[in-house]
Structures are given as structure tokens and as C-alpha cells.
Amino acid sequence: MAAIYGRHMIDTLHERVGDEEQRQRSEDAQSLSTEPRTWMRAIGHWGHRSGDPRGIYDGAPEFDYRFAAFQAGLDLYSNEANGLTDRAGLYLAYGHGIMDVTQDRIFEERSAGRNQFDAVTLGGYWTRLADDGWYLDGVLQGTWYGFNTRSNRSTAIGFPEQDADGVGLAASLEAGRAFHLADGWQIEPQAQLVLQTIRMGDFNDGAADIDFDTSNSVTGRIGARLARSWNADGTDKTSQRSYTVWGRASLWHEFAAEAQTDISSANGPVAFASDLKETWLEIGIGGTTRLSQSTSLYGNLNFSTTFDADQYAWNGKLGLKMTW
């Protein structure tokens, strides 16, 4: 779940800061394109992963998970020259997540316990926008986790509630190219690569030492976004209020994710590994409305699922950005 959480703190450019295309929708908006900007957004996510009767011996256990986060960022640098606009800044986020684990037996299911985390994220971004429609967006971030795990088995036989710390590092590079069509329409192919490494602290559950190996993730995305922008009064130059709505389809693939836990025994550590490589489809809709020359409201909704429907998730985001 930490890898999913970290990826959604980075997100995609249009989800993180709204639609950048609106800067070109009026002469007034264009004059603000390099002004310093602050932005903030709320994130909600709910998902499910089906398990395997062999649990940790094959695949992974079944669990439902959810998290919420608040993220705020500030442009520290902005510049426009030779048809290119550059922005660079920092963001800070806080989030809380819950995972309810189900013991998936062949003939029955029962609740196995609950894991929770609190997370603080610090990230930096650099975005380059070209007047002819292409963009690059790079992000580096670090996340510090405080985990809590609680088994539903009686503490009289061990398995007391446990706390552990963790850290995650991530990097992302996204690129896209908007092709402008008639009447404010555009289509934008996109590609993105997200790298993550996550390390969780070890603990003793009352029966054995639990050692979590470092987990690495390499996630790629290709997709296309169809968008339309227009001004409230139907012109291209005088309205302060403008709108962009979009729909996007993306294909994601996890190339490298594996999770391994080593549990002590009388004969030495016993390794339990889960292969988390998956391919999934994500469908999303969103939009940005410019409320004034300096303020925009943006948001989106997404649904994602693997092709066998063993994993699926919903998420929604709502943000506000202001130039000053």
C-alpha cells in the first residue's frame, strides 16, 4: 500500500496542479503564466486486492485499503523565454491510510487484522511547458511513514500490537504532447515512469522477529487525454472565467515490485515473497475552472482495475491554485 500511496502523491501533472492549458485561454491569463503560484489539494482513495488461499506463500493476502491526504505546493521559480515556460517548486503532504486484511481460506474468509500508517511527504518538481503543446514534468519525493499493525489473534498467545517506522523515496518523469483540434478540443498522448524504493523497520511480534526487505517498484504508464477548453462568454480573449474538461485512459504496468518478509525460526530466517507485478487500466475524468485571473479550482475522479478484476480502486481529488 505504501507504493500506491507514494505514487498518488506524485500523480500526473494535470491531477497534481490542474490544467496548464488554461494559461493560454486569454490574453489576461497569458500575462500571469510566469507569476509565482501556490496550490493545494485533498486526495481520497479506496481500493481492494483479492488474495490467494495460500496467502503469504503465494501472491499476497486479500485486503481492502483506503487513505486520505492533503497536499500543498509552492512555485519557487518560474520563467518564460523562447516559447518555453519553466516552473519549479516544493510540496508538502500529510496522509493517513488503513488496510484491513482478510485471511482467505479455501472454504472461508475471516478478518486477520488491520494495518495503519501516518505519512509525511516532501517533494520537489520541475515542469517545462512549450507553446507548441509538449511538456515535461519531473518529480522527486521522500515519504516518512509511521506504521501500526494489529492482529485479531489473541495477545495471550503473542501477536501484540506493533509500531514501526519506514521511509520511501520516489522519482517520476512524465511527458506529453497536446495536438490542438477545432473548437477548443485537443488530444494529448502521454507517457510516465515512476521509480520507488521503500524500507520498513523491523519488529518482533511476540513470537518471531519480522524483517521486511527493501521493496522496489518500477511503474510505467502510457495514455491519452481528450480535453476541451472554452471561455464563459464564448470568446477567446475577454472572459476571466474559463473552463477545461477532460477524459483520460491510461495503461499502467508494474515491472519490478516484489515484497519479501523474513521471519525468524529455530532453523534460521524463513523468507515469504510476494510478486506484485501487474498491468491495470485506469479511466478518469476531470476539469479545471478559472474563477478569476488569479484563482482556479480543479478536480478529477478515477477508476482503475486489473484485467482479471482481482484489483480495483477508486479515487478523487479536489484542488485550488492561486497566482500572486
Residue-range domains of the chain with CATH? 2-323 (2.40.128.130)
Q: Provide the pLDDT confidence category of residue 28 given band limits of 50, 70 and 90.
A: very low
What are the backbone angles phi and psi of residue 183, rounded to the nearest 5°? 60, 40
DSSP-assigned letter for residue 14: H
Least confident of 19-33, 68-82, 110-124, 231-245: 19-33
Closest of 318, 321, 317, 319 to residue 302, by C-alpha: 317
- CA distance linking residue 209 with residue 205, whole number of Å: 7
Name the region of 3 (left: φ>0; alpha: ψ -120 to 50; beta: rest). alpha
DSSP-assigned letter for residue 34: T
Alpha-carbon 43 to chain mean position: 9
Given a cut of 50, is residue 270 above it in pLDDT? yes
Q: Which residue has the higher pLDDT, 190 or 257?
A: 190
Q: Provide the pLDDT confidence category of residue 20 given band limits of 50, 70 and 90.
A: confident
Give the H or E element holding residue 285: strand 279-290
Q: Which residue has the higher pLDDT, 147 or 223?
A: 223
Q: Provide the pLDDT confidence category of residue 200 given band limits of 50, 70 and 90.
A: confident
Count of alpha carbons within 13 angstroms of residue 13, beta-carbon side: 26
Q: Are 7 and 196 in contact (CB under 8 A)?
A: yes
Exposed e or buried b per residue across 288-308, where buried means at least 16 C-beta atoms within 10 angstroms of its C-beta? bbbeeeeebebbbebebbbee
Q: Which residue has the higher pLDDT, 164 or 48?
A: 48
- CA distance linking residue 145 with residue 163, whole number of Å: 11
pTM of this structure: 0.86
Tens digits of per-residue pLDDT, 40-66? Answer: 999 999 999 886 655 555 556 788 999
Q: Provide the pLDDT confidence category of residue 257 given band limits of 50, 70 and 90.
A: low
Residue 138 corresponds to which cell in the numbers above?
Answer: 519531473
